[in-house]
A and B are shown apart, each in its own frame.
Chain A
Amino acid sequence: MATRATDKGKGKKASGKAARGGRGGAAPKGEKQEGRESGKTLPGGLDAVRGFAETTSRVVRQAASILEEEIAAGIVAARQVEESLINVKALRAANADSVIHRFRKDAHEVVDILVDLIGTAAKYAEEMRKRAVSFRVSGNPGRPERQESDSAPYLKVPGVLKSGQSVQVPMTLENSGNAPTEPMRFLSTDLVSPSGGIIPARQIAFKPAALTIQPGGRGTVVVQLKIPAGAKPGLYSGLVQSSRTDRLRAVLAVEVA
Chain B
Amino acid sequence: MAHTSTYERVTGALERYKSLTMQTLMAYLPSREPKRYLYDLVPSYPLRAGKGFRPGLCLSTCSAFGGDPDLALNSAVAIEIFHNAFLIHDDVEDGSEYRRGKATLHVEHGIPIAVNVGDAMNVLSMRPLMENAGVLGPELTWLVFTEIEHMVRQSVEGQALELGWVRDNVCDLGEEDYLRMTLKKTCWYTCIHPCRIGALIATGGAVDADRFNRFGYYMGAAFQIQDDILNLTGDRKKYGKEIGGDIWEGKRTLILIHLLNRCSATEKEGLRRFLATPRTERRAKDVRWVYRLLAKYGSIESARRSAYQLAGAALREYHVAYRGLPDSEDKRFIENIIFYMIERTI
Contact = CB atoms under 8 A, between A and B. Distances in A.
Contact of A62 (B175, B229, B287): B175
A37 B300 contact: yes
Interface in A1-34: 2-3, 6-7, 10-11, 13-14, 16, 18-22, 24-34
A79 interface: yes
A65 B180 CA distance: 10
B187 to A, nearest CB: 9
B214 A3 contact: no
A79 B343 CA distance: 35
B291 A26 contact: yes
Given A36-B229, A52-B312, A3 B288 contact: no
B213 to A, nearest CB: 6
A246 interface: no
B183 A67 contact: yes
B292 A35 contact: no
Interface string B143-160: 100100110001000000
Contacts of B285: 25
B234 to A, nearest CB: 7
Interface residues of B, number: 69
Nearest to A56: B313
A182 interface: no
B313 A7 contact: no
Interface stretch (A70-78, A140-148, A230-238): A70-78
A230 B171 CA distance: 33
B6 interface: yes
B236 A33 contact: yes
A21 B296 contact: yes
B86 interface: no
Given A28-B287, A63-B217, A54 B312 contact: yes
Given A37-B301, A67-B214, 12 more contacts: A27-B287, A28-B287, A30-B242, A35-B345, A36-B233, A41-B301, A53-B316, A59-B175, A62-B179, A63-B217, A63-B313, A67-B213
